[in-house]
Amino acid sequence: MEAIVVLTPEDAGELLTLQRAAYGYRQGEGLGSRLLGLVEQRLPAAVGTVRLFTGERSTGNLRLHDRFGYRETHRTPTPGGYARVHLEKPVPIPVTGTRD
């Protein structure tokens, strides 16, 4: 396995929390961008917001999410002494009812 994406539906399918990870040796190959793009293309039509989080020290992830239009909503402390950065992005619901 090279990467993993975990999608957790919330609020009756109108919101999706996304967790994504790629192994360190694959970083810098565009895998994160491809995964995020694929997930966004295949979102169920009812999803209006996508939320995700990353560590404050994960500057590459923060840049990637910024490029994709995610905005920071808040930070929470972790037992490890760093902050978890929470981000979200509104996703327009297509007129056709599907994103495919």
Cβ atoms of 27 and 61 closer than 8 Å: no
Domain membership of residue 70 as a residue range? 3-90
Number of domain units in the chain: 1
- Categorize the per-residue pLDDT at 1 as very low, low, confident or very high, splitting at 50, 70 and 90: very low
**pLDDT digit string, tens, across residues 7-55:** 677 765 555 566 666 556 566 777 788 888 888 888 888 788 888 888 9
Domain CATH for 15 = 3.40.630.30
Confidence of residue 5 (pLDDT cuts 50, 70, 90): low
**Is 96 contained in some domain?**
no
CA distance 77 to 23: 24
| pLDDT computed for residue 31 by the predictor | 79
Pairing, β 15-22 against β 49-55: parallel
- Structural domain contains residue 53: yes
Residue 97 lies in a domain: no
Helices (H), 1-100: 31-41, 59-67
pTM (2 d.p.):
0.75
Cα–Cα distances (Å) from 41 to 26, 44, 73, 82, in that order, read 22, 9, 23, 32
